[in-house]
Amino acid sequence: MAQEDDSIIPPGHSKTFFYVSNLIPAQVLIQNLSPGSQASFRLKSGPQSWTYFGNLPAGHTQSIYFEWPTSIAVFTNASGGGVSIRVYGNGIRPATAEEAKAHSHE
């Protein structure tokens, strides 16, 4: 059952995640995969349009609890160099292209 981990976001990239409302509130974990560099990230909800900014020390994981209706969330890895982050948790997963398109309108 080996498959690529599509919850990893390379530096300078964004990824859309889908949130399922029946698991409110959901625990979302953001993990800094670098053993030696700080990671910076931005979380923007859609379509309600609020933004959360965060920094993670090297090798650390941050837990955030969110409550919002079934929708999408866009995580951006604002880190430089080779610092990747991983986003995972209860009720959130990488969105399919169809889900991202369907929930991106305001």
Q: What domains are defined for the chain?
A: 8-103 (2.60.290.11)
The pLDDT of residue 106 is above 70: no
Q: Is the CA virtual torsion 80, 15, 17, 86 positive or negative?
A: negative
pLDDT for 26: 72
The pLDDT value recorded for residue 31 is 97
Residue 3: the pLDDT is 46
Q: What is the pLDDT of residues 46-105, one digit of tens each?
A: 666 788 999 999 999 999 887 767 788 899 999 988 899 999 988 788 998 888 887 765
Which pTM does this prediction carry?
Answer: 0.85
Q: What is the per-residue pLDDT for 100? A: 81
Instruction: Encode pLDDT of 61-74 as tens digits.
Output: 999 887 767 788 89
What pLDDT band is residue 1 in, cutting at 50, 70 and 90?
A: very low
How would you classify the pairing of strands 8-9 and 85-89?
A: antiparallel
